[in-house]
Amino acid sequence: DTGVSQNPRHKITKRGQNVTFRCDPISEHNRLYWYRQTLGQGPEFLTYFQNEAQLEKSRLLSDRFSAERPKGSFSTLEIQRTEQGDSAMYLCASSLSGSSYGYTFGSGTRLTVV
């Protein structure tokens, strides 16, 4: 198992374009999370899946953001009509169910909106 994998590592896009990021979690982990981190800040929760069900969404997740996890495996995060304020590091994490398990994070996707 190679851990949590995120693609692409970097994405530069023009304002108004749509972008999509992919996350492949650790295969036996049924929980998958998306976080956003801006420069100098700690990561902030965006959304969480248990298997294929999206169980929780932060108020940070505007209607321009959509996340999916078909078949409970990989996940995609799409941002429509990107704005400069969307520039950030988007981090994906996975874990097993249960409060005793820690999270494993991927290397992140750095988005720059110009």
Out of 27, 40, 59, 63, point to the residue binding other proteins (CB under 8 A): 40
Rounded to the nearest 5 degrees, what angle is found at the Cα of 106, between the Cα atoms of 104 and 112?
145
- Establish if 106 lies at the interface with other proteins (CB under 8 A): yes
Q: Which stretch binds other proteins (CB under 8 A): 13-21, 61-69, 74-82, 96-104?
A: 96-104
- Establish if 33 lies at the interface with other proteins (CB under 8 A): yes
What's the DSSP call for residue 1? -
Show the site string, 53-92: x = touches other proteins by CB under 8 A, - = not.
--xx----------------------------------x-
- What gap in Å lies between CA 2 and CA 83, rounded to an integer? 33
Sign of CA dihedral 113, 20, 69, 31: negative
What's the DSSP call for residue 73? S
69 has which bridge partners? Answer: none
Structure tokens at 60: 């940070």
- Establish if 30 lies at the interface with other proteins (CB under 8 A): no
Binding residues for other proteins (CB under 8 A): 6, 31, 33, 35, 40-45, 48, 50, 55-56, 91, 93, 99-100, 102-108, 110
